[in-house]
Homo-oligomer: A and B are copies of this chain.
Amino acid sequence: MMTVTVIGTGLIGGSMALDLKERGFADVVLGVDNNMLHADMAIQLNLVDEMVTLEEGAARADLIIIATPINVTRQLLPGILDDLKPGQVVSDMGSTKSSVAEVVNGHANRPQFVLSHPMAGTEYSGPTAAKKELFDGKAAIICDADDSDVFAVDLIRRMYETLGMHVMYMNANNHDHSAAYVSHISHITSFALALTVLEKERDEKTIVNLASGGFDSTVRLAKSSPDMWTPIFDENSVNLLEVIDTYIEKMQAFRQCIADSNLAEIYSLIREANKIQKILK
């Protein structure tokens, strides 16, 4: 009899709840959400069996999944570890890992906690964004596995495998560096693109009509939630500033050769960028 408590019944927590229950990993799924509207929706949408308080959810769980914005995760985590009983396991779903690890380093119950990150999502958020099969075929990262008990890591690995994910192991610093390059910067480039177009192209009909020229896919992530992304950008700021600086350099390189009408250099930059297609089929 496995009881899973999901704290934060939004896109990630809600989607996990659905698949973990349906695939038999969890017998009971309890939900915790401090947003009353979201709590109601989670019940109406059948994401969880029952909504409970944080205290009750933590007490009754075999496994506690924290799927809140990471600033909230950092606030909740020490208290949750304080009250853990032997055998209970906790994992967080945050997009940055070092800052989460920091708040529980050296905690007596740290071994029952597993730092992890399922690399899946959409640009939507909240309980209505939750859906089945969100995670299948994607990567899940378990970080700093040596700081967790073997039974805890094993449970989280089995959970991700139940979700159809392939599990990778990385240390938290390497994770945050790679996530800055491969996930976080994509959101910033989309936000910046949206801001640019919203400022300068005020004719909404023109935007809609011309958007088929590639704009829609590059700007899709600009719909992403500020509640989720603000703390990610802040807590991964060191890595992110490095990426942004490199990115601005590349943008300046394009600017320069376009300003100079240097066709050979424009061509060469595009050719170089094309190499991404060997990596992403």
Copies in the complex: 2
- The distance in angstroms between the C-alpha atoms of A237 and B266, with both chains bound, is 12
Residue contacts A-B, CB under 8 angstroms, 22 given = A120-B212, A121-B212, A123-B214, A138-B212, A178-B206, A181-B196, A181-B201, A182-B206, A182-B211, A186-B218, A186-B219, A187-B214, A189-B192, A189-B251, A190-B218, A191-B250, A192-B251, A195-B253, A200-B246, A229-B266, A233-B266, A244-B254
In the complex the two chains form, is A195's CB within 8 Å of B263's CB? no
Chain B residues whose C-beta falls within 8 Å of the C-beta of A119 in the assembled complex: 209-210, 212-213
Residues of B contacting A233 in the complex (Cβ-Cβ under 8 angstroms): 254, 258, 266
| In-complex Cβ contact of A226 among B166, B240, B274, B276 (8 A) | B274
Give every chain B residue within 8 A of A120 (Cβ-Cβ): 212-213
Chain B hits for A178, CB < 8 A: 201, 203, 206, 210
Interface flag for A270 (CB, 8 Å)? yes
Cα–Cα, bound, A188→B189 (Å):
11
| A271 touching B213 in the complex, CB below 8 Å, given contacts A200-B181, A243-B200, A258-B234 | no
Q: How many residues of chain A are within 8 Å of chain B by beta carbon?
A: 93
CB of A158 within 8 Å of the partner chain: no
| A207 with B231: CB separation less than 8 A | no
